[in-house]
Structure 1
Amino acid sequence: MKNTFFLILVTLFILTSCQENKESLQKLPNYLEESHSYAQPNDAVITHLDLDITVDFETQVISGTATYDIENSGSNQIILDSKYLEIESVTQNGEQTEFDLGDFDESLGQPLTVAIKEDTKQIAVTYSTTSKTEALQWLTAQQTADKTNPFLFTQGQAILTRTWIPIQDSPQIRITYDATVKVPSQLMAVMSAENPKEKNGNGVYHFKMKQPIPAYLIALAIGDIEYKAISERTGVYAEKSMIDKVHTEFSDMEKMVVAAENLYGDYDWDQFDVIVLPPSFPFGGMENPRLTFATPTVIAGDKSLTSLVAHELAHSWSGNLVTNATWNDFWLNEGFTVYFEIRIMEALYGKDRANMLALIGRQDLEDELEALKESPNDTKLKLDLKGRNPDDGMNSIAYDKGYLFLRTLEEKVGRDNMDAFLKSYFKKNAFSTINTEDFITYLNENLLEKNNITFNTEEWIYQPGVPENAAVITSDAFSNVEKTLEEFLKTNKIDVTKTENWTPQEWVHFVRNFPEDISVAQMQQLDNSFDFTNSTNSYITMVWYEQSILNNYHGNNVDTKIAEFLNTVGRRWYVTTLFNAFAEAERIEEAKEIYKTARGNYHSVTANTVDEMLGI
């Protein structure tokens, strides 16, 4: 009788456990099909990373072990993404297990398939990077500001994290992580996580990111850097020779955080710091949570280019907190962020400056629409990037058409309704991912139907080009700039007193709007009056160099200056603009000569783009 009773208890226990197991498995998120990742998260998905790596600057190799906690729906395998990595061994639940690297794809890399069991809770991959690893840029001491120690930084967006960590590299898969990073003792390591504020002397740094993030936001930088606080929760990292300049330039960071919170709710990442990297960094900024990576090209000395900081801060809500589920939905990250950025800038610096920024974006959008006129499907907000690199969708359409959609929507529903909607959108979807279709449903239920408003949402999202009801953005300041340019072109005279208080945005607008028939003599006259060739503002410099190339202006040693600029600045937007100008001006051989010496200073993100542009 006792034995029978015992067997009944055991049977009930097993049945209950199986039922609980089944219920627990049913609670796994329902992940979308993803064309840019080999992972099959509905079968088995990673939830936490414990990274233990050593960074060797002599061999330019990162090696170590990535240990993952996983959730398994009963599969006998888990698939990670890997590209240009040497996989040494893999364990599951602490025991050696079989693994297989599948066929190589130029964009996606290889699937790393790991054998697991139904009860596997953890896998560990021991690996090392290689010379082909695309996310890493190893810099010599000469390529840094201080020129005393080497530097390393990573860039994971969109699908490059798989080139320095074997991982499920899809934006819809969010994980927490811990990391132990061993570096040379004279250097300091920082990550998109809780960070040290000073060197520790032994070169071993420990990190924790307690909020779940997608793989593309895992970031690492190592160099001879210092930290300087702006407030209790904001501060900057930079090399010693740069730290004071950076601190002054970004001194409004705490004000920006407060302005952002006033708009759309609490900042959920505890700390907002910025690290200014060496000039080869390929983007203006990268919104790695807790630690934005930024280009030194925004250090203008007058805070005139700090809208970039507002943009990366805004990503703390749109992108990092609520993330595009796939790269086809990239506009959900960037269109929202540009809208939020411009609202922050308006709150701090006024509507005129905000509208100038918005108008420059509108001009960028028109340029992009013209460039994509042969491929109109690429001008839709919702893209189909299957079989293509997701970088193909990272252009002005996502940013500026996305912004214009939201700006037009705001004008239709009213700012108060728009703000209430966005605040609830960020709160409701915090630490999760969303695709375009779910956003449309949320928009209809929580803004349009609720306020009995009709809006052409699907035309904006699924049709090419810009709908006729697009908001019209105006700027009195830009109107005055246009009048000044028009007077100069008619009379060959310019009243410099009218330009004395111009912002960099006004100067950019002035230079960008030169007509095609502007003469070399007029270019020379403007350069003599305003010394554009030697401007210390990188944005003004870039647009002036573009016009110089397009109009065959060679005065004031501008050709040498352009070559120097392209050999020292790696920001992809700037670099590709100038190389594209060379191509348009049919000066391609000149461009290739410059590129021969410049390419080694560029991150792979920039170099790959220019390679294609120049047919190399």
Structure 2
Amino acid sequence: MSADSAPTHDPHSFSQPQEAIVTHLALQLKVDFESKILTGVATYRIQKQPDARRIILDTKDLFIQAVYLNQAPDTFNLGPDKEFLGQPLEIPLLNDTDEISIHYQTTSVSAALQWLGPEQTAGGQHPFLFTQSQAILARTWMPCQDSPSVRFTYEAQVQVPAGYLALMSAENPQEMVNNGLYIFKMVHPIPSYLMALAVGHLQFKPVGSRTGVYAETATLPAAVYEFAEMEKMLLAAEDLYGTYPWGRYDVLVLPPSFPFGGMENPCLTFATPTIITGDRSLTSLVAHELAHSWSGNLVTNATWNDFWLNEGFTVYFERRIMEYLYGPEYADMLKVLGYQDLNKTIEELGETNPDTCLKLNLVNRDPDEGLTEIAYEKGNLFLLTIEKAVGRARFDAFIQNYFQSFAFQSNTTENFLKFLSSFFDQEKGILTKEVQPECWIYEPGIPKVAVKVSSARFALIEEKAKEWQSTKDPSVLANLPWTTHEWLYFLQLIETELQASEMAILDNAFHFTQSGNAEVLAAWLEMGLKKDYQVIEEALGKFLQGVGRRKFVLPLFKLLADKPTGKNQAKSIYEKARPNYHAVTRQSVDKLLFA
């Protein structure tokens, strides 16, 4: 079985790929740090229906200079601007048209691009540029059919100033070239949201035969240590679900303004520096982005309404990698923390909110609204429930077959359900009774048939939490070999009854307010805001101004703004922090503080 041959209607794209579709991109770009502009020529090979008289591409905040058909000048029309979506670029076609070229420039409001000054980087001497295309921001740095249902191969020539390294989601150089001209090639078809570019004063160091790390000089040693087990992760992933299809797997550590934990750009994961802790305790994020090489990059959600197909599979796969390398007890901790995050999200959204269904309805909405723990953790819990019902060996066979059947294609939730039913035809009664797939997909909340998750290591944390709550003596927690996950679980357990005075006792013993672990510090700052622990005030401002990861900053701004006198304080901090944030984070905080 394969995905439907006709591209799926995508409510977040103007393109009509059933009429004319792009198949290959030849991209020429010039990067200008002074003007903060990309100047580009995007040349697309296209396939069209015999009667097609136009092709439509998505654009947003681009300056379209000229269009050519088969190298001859042509007219074009930019339609009206629509919220979230931008403008359709309609290009008339001739009978023999098989190539279009668009000359364009980005603008100061092209949201995918973040231009960083030297002071915003680790080295402090050179500017930096990176893109973030997911979900529908590729159209803000290149005209394209910006739908995950449209896949194309690409090649690129990128001119940058001398002394900078350019990287893309493709085969990458490992050293700077003197003339600043870099050549890239991606031989597998990918959707536009996986188009990526980064330019900076970067260095590379391998950590395995197919894996390595790019970072600024100041960050590289710590990053290489943190990600030393990437090759082992890659080998584990291949042993689980088949050959890695993308050649190399490298990680680029970005400046702290990067809005996400990681972005699974093929061949080159973009990663936040907030996962560098010195103890490799947060490298499950690398396993997650690596898993996307199969679930997401190889088999892709056809629309953002089907986002769980990317993330639910990836969370499941990530934890299988971590189990393979570090044992079931380690993976069980991740499952329990994920389940807690899922319940928290459902509590915030409401149990009957349709946004807690796996299949979303994001028509006339920003698809970023679907980037919640529902896709990640409810999707994972759904797959865990299937695994329990049919057995792990049988479920592994299903996943391997799924990846093989839909390789380099985009898939819908409905097509997934057909494939699930077909593969498990002999277990149909078990699925109906013990899984109830349609309930997970189309009904809100967590179905009653959901598998239960537990952690033996967390059971020990629960005993220590009780001991602390009865004694308030931090010595009962001293010298414990806890990972980040265990400390997070402990803080969650004690939060309800915790007082500001008790936070001070813990802080004096373990220096949480000065923690260099972003996950622990963010959790501690949230607790401090809830408990009015005023000691955190300076650390809070410093953290919000220094880290742009939306997962961290948005809850903190929300908690601060909800305090009786906190709205003005939140706005004051945000005024200083906003220039350091990517547009993805700015949009969310703007909506929170100024809507």
Q: Do they fold alike, i.e. is TM over 0.5?
A: yes
In 1, Cα distance between the equivalents of 2:428 and 2:448?
23
1:105 to 75, 82, 85: 82
Contact 1:84 1:132 in 2 (8 A): yes
2:561 to 568, 576, 583: 583
Please, which moves more after superposition, 471-480 or 191-200? 471-480
Corresponding position of 1:55: 31
Contact 2:362 2:370 in 1 (8 A): yes
Post-superposition CA distance 1:288-313 (Å, at most 9, x none):
00000000000101110000000000
Corresponding position of 2:9: 33
Corresponding position of 1:126: 103
SS of the residue corresponding to residue 80 of structure 1 reads strand
Corresponding position of 1:205: 182
Identical columns (%)? 50
In 2, Cα distance between the equivalents of 1:473 and 1:495?
30
SS of the residue corresponding to residue 22 of structure 2 reads strand
**Pairing 1:613–2:586 present:** no
In 1, Cα distance between the equivalents of 2:430 and 2:95?
50
**Pairing 1:490–2:467 present:** no
Corresponding position of 1:461: 441
Please, which moves more after superposition, 367-376 or 229-238? 367-376
1:533 to 486, 506, 513: 513
Corresponding position of 1:567: 545
Contact 1:579 1:591 in 2 (8 A): yes
Corresponding position of 1:69: 45
Amino acid corresponding to residue 463 of structure 2 in structure 1: K
In 2, Cα distance between the equivalents of 1:522 and 1:63?
56
Structure 1 stretches of at least 4 aligned residues deviating more than 6 Å after TM superposition: none
Offset at residue 54 of structure 1 (A): 0.4
Corresponding position of 1:422: 399
**Pairing 1:187–2:164 present:** yes
In 1, Cα distance between the equivalents of 2:499 and 2:229?
41
Offset at residue 588 of structure 1 (A): 2.0
Q: Pick closer, same or farther for the CA change 1:196–1:77 going to 2, 3 Å.
A: same
Listed as ranges, the gaps of 5+ residues in structure 2 are: none
Corresponding position of 1:479: 459
Offset at residue 488 of structure 1 (A): 1.9
**Pairing 1:604–2:583 present:** yes
Please, which moves more after superposition, 103-112 or 497-506? 497-506
**Pairing 1:447–2:427 present:** no
In 1, Cα distance between the equivalents of 2:493 and 2:139?
42
Corresponding position of 1:350: 327
Offset at residue 497 of structure 1 (A): 5.1
SS of the residue corresponding to residue 361 of structure 2 reads coil
Contact 1:550 1:584 in 2 (8 A): no
1:288 to 265, 269, 284: 265
Offset at residue 459 of structure 1 (A): 0.5
SS of the residue corresponding to residue 21 of structure 2 reads strand
Please, which moves more after superposition, 468-477 or 385-394? 468-477
Corresponding position of 1:311: 288
Offset at residue 449 of structure 1 (A): 3.5
2:57 to 80, 93, 101: 80
Post-superposition CA distance 1:80-124 (Å, at most 9, x none):
000000000001111111100000012000000001112100000
Post-superposition CA distance 1:347-381 (Å, at most 9, x none):
00111111111111101001100110176100000
Contact 1:72 1:118 in 2 (8 A): no
5 Å-filtered alignment, 1:195-274, equals 195-274=172-251
Amino acid corresponding to residue 261 of structure 2 in structure 1: G
Contact 2:56 2:145 in 1 (8 A): yes
Amino acid corresponding to residue 244 of structure 1 in structure 2: P
**Pairing 1:333–2:310 present:** yes
SS of the residue corresponding to residue 521 of structure 2 reads helix
SS of the residue corresponding to residue 494 of structure 2 reads coil
Post-superposition CA distance 1:421-459 (Å, at most 9, x none):
101110111000110000000001112535753330001
In 2, Cα distance between the equivalents of 1:584 and 1:513?
23
Corresponding position of 1:508: 488
Post-superposition CA distance 1:323-356 (Å, at most 9, x none):
0001000000000000000000000011111111
RMSD of aligned Cα (Å): 1.4
Corresponding position of 1:157: 134
Offset at residue 519 of structure 1 (A): 1.3
Post-superposition CA distance 1:159-197 (Å, at most 9, x none):
000000000000010000000000010111000001001
**Pairing 1:550–2:530 present:** yes
Corresponding position of 1:92: 69
Offset at residue 200 of structure 1 (A): 0.6
Corresponding position of 1:46: 22
In 1, Cα distance between the equivalents of 2:236 and 2:483?
22
SS of the residue corresponding to residue 495 of structure 1 reads helix
Contact 1:484 1:494 in 2 (8 A): no
Offset at residue 516 of structure 1 (A): 3.2
Please, which moves more after superposition, 263-272 or 367-376? 367-376
Contact 1:29 1:42 in 2 (8 A): no
In 2, Cα distance between the equivalents of 1:306 and 1:402?
21
In 2, Cα distance between the equivalents of 1:486 and 1:588?
36
SS of the residue corresponding to residue 176 of structure 1 reads strand
In 2, Cα distance between the equivalents of 1:583 and 1:594?
11
Amino acid corresponding to residue 159 of structure 2 in structure 1: K
In 1, Cα distance between the equivalents of 2:506 and 2:351?
36
In 2, Cα distance between the equivalents of 1:448 and 1:323?
24
SS of the residue corresponding to residue 55 of structure 1 reads strand
SS of the residue corresponding to residue 320 of structure 1 reads coil
Post-superposition CA distance 1:445-503 (Å, at most 9, x none):
11253575333000111100001111111112212222222222222223345652111
Offset at residue 593 of structure 1 (A): 1.1
SS of the residue corresponding to residue 359 of structure 1 reads helix
Amino acid corresponding to residue 569 of structure 2 in structure 1: E
Q: Pick closer, same or farther for the CA change 1:314–1:531 going to 2, 3 Å.
A: same
In 2, Cα distance between the equivalents of 1:225 and 1:375?
48
Corresponding position of 2:274: 297
Between Structure 1 and Structure 2, how many residues are aligned?
588
Corresponding position of 1:7: none
Contact 1:28 1:42 in 2 (8 A): no
Contact 2:352 2:445 in 1 (8 A): no
